[in-house]
Structure 1
């Protein structure tokens, strides 16, 4: 049982993306529950004035929901234009839509939802506190990523991978480990997938791709040159391209037909961004893998069984001749 991307999305995957350089799915107003997640994800890439607006929105959604655009600009020491730009960057067509989302978010929080954890790990923290803080941060990162995942983009990505002739995955450093994880998972269900962490090999492989192939770039910053370049080469040759990134406005999205945005907790001295970005990237990888396995179950199930059997046989005790 195979699935064609054209059958799933007759209008074509690039039609889902919108204008070049525009983050995929940006025309869809985000769910109110994703607002706080988007603020945490996008704040590091905002200007300082936009950050002040975003921090006010996340810190007091109920209060901000009652403010006019002029009143919010006064409260944050910015301008009306900055407030509107912030609203649009967060995915809302205008300030009115943002106020509705703020009111809905305030109502959700009133039901007793736990607040976001922002305490940094200190150098003199007891190890037990470190475990607690890390666990809570990981939970928040996963919840934020799940809240802001664009289901249309995810569905299209699953369809593209399920029907791909060949899949290349690009990633460097911590993102390279995530790229390897995705490739090996897809290999185990019978797909032809390879991860490339060497930038030269990535580009030389990318230029061999064509329509019907899929290229995946994993980059939290969205601007890692050694990941952007092979994705650009694959995009230019007609392959379907997917970016898994924490920066939907990053360079990599210019060459991505599909964009899946990950969240990341605030970076600190003892907790670099690579730690939490890896957690959210692995969640997206697992969602892709399960989705593809469901789509191709008739082929995936026997392939998984064969890989389990091969590994079990490899690790079984060897018997001597005559035993």
Structure 2
């Protein structure tokens, strides 16, 4: 990602954390300093930061552009604004500790998830979202791939699309998923969900779907990941994983926000068919539940 690829990151810290694994060693050194002390970076001139980081000014500028900023001064401004928003709390909420009281657990989890939702919504490009919506709305079939916590997101996307009459499936068996991906055709859609964008199973499935001619979509925190590189359309989520939040609450909730936006967009574009499908499935489920209750008496 560079400054021309999309909107300026709203939360520079979450952006840095997401792309850190895919940066060069020199850029990683700069990124870790941003994560460790964003206020210090915001205060430092490029000459000062070059001395602190042990990297050249040119490397600092390139790294800032890689992160989605026009240059180092733009990055400093974003960091300063982010620090200013946090007058009484750290820029990033503290990780959950083994001795944290439940009151702190509630506050930290709620804040992490709220920030993930806000950051995802702010950086979700309407044009990119619209392209995905158009592809899904016109697809003969939609495959959604995810493993672990991302598999839950994939299942949610598939069942939502199925409720409005689309042929959509998620998979827990990699072999079955690979079979399905191989049989996709041009005009079909394959979506891969992965927080870091490097899950081997999801990469293999999206690669197979792409080879078959399907339109490929990535939902990931890392716009520089291998998954993003395989996809025609990339929707970037926000949120991070920690020791006590593996498979991450914040990452999952931000991915679900993207799924909901895709679902609503598709339902809007296929309104008559979607409304009829929702009404029909709702009536069928209602009749089933009523019959089940009667049998249970």
Change in Cα spacing, 1:112 to 1:255, as seen in structure 2 (3 Å) is closer
Larger RCO (CA under 8 A, 6+ residues apart):
1
| TM-score calculated relative to the size of structure 1 | 0.80
Matched residue, 1:55: 35
Deviates more, 1:165-174 or 1:48-57: 48-57
Q: 2:207 aligns with which of 232, 251, 272?
A: 232
Matched residue, 2:227: 252
Matched residue, 1:304: 278
Specify the SS of the correspondent of 2:248.
helix
Is 1:39 equivalent to 2:39 in the alignment?
A: no
- How far apart are residue 194 of structure 1 and its match? 0.5
Structure 1's unaligned 5+ residue stretches are 1-22
- How far apart are residue 85 of structure 1 and its match? 3.0
- Pairwise mapping of residues 65-84 of structure 1 onto structure 2 (< 5 A)? 67=45, 69-84=46-61
Counterpart contact for 1:170–1:218, Cα < 8 Å: yes
Specify the SS of the correspondent of 2:252.
helix
- How far apart are residue 149 of structure 1 and its match? 2.0
Structure 2's unaligned 5+ residue stretches are none
Matched residue, 1:144: 119
Matched residue, 1:12: none
Q: Residues of 2 paired with 1:112 and 1:34: CA distance?
A: 12
| Cα deviation code 1:176-208 (max 9, x no counterpart) | 111000000000011110111211111111111
Counterpart contact for 1:53–1:86, Cα < 8 Å: no
Is 1:163 equivalent to 2:138 in the alignment?
A: yes
- How far apart are residue 101 of structure 1 and its match? 5.3
Q: Residues of 2 paired with 1:111 and 1:129: CA distance?
A: 20
Q: Residues of 1 paired with 2:162 and 2:49: CA distance?
A: 51
Q: How many equivalent pairs are there?
A: 290
Specify the SS of the correspondent of 1:28.
coil
Specify the SS of the correspondent of 2:228.
helix
- How far apart are residue 61 of structure 1 and its match? 6.5
Q: 2:261 aligns with which of 287, 293, 307?
A: 287
Is 1:129 equivalent to 2:104 in the alignment?
A: yes
- How far apart are residue 278 of structure 1 and its match? 1.3
Q: 2:177 aligns with which of 195, 202, 216?
A: 202
Specify the SS of the correspondent of 1:316.
helix
| Aligned-residue RMSD, C-alpha | 2.6
| Cα deviation code 1:90-126 (max 9, x no counterpart) | 123x52xx42354366457657787534212111222
Matched residue, 1:314: 288
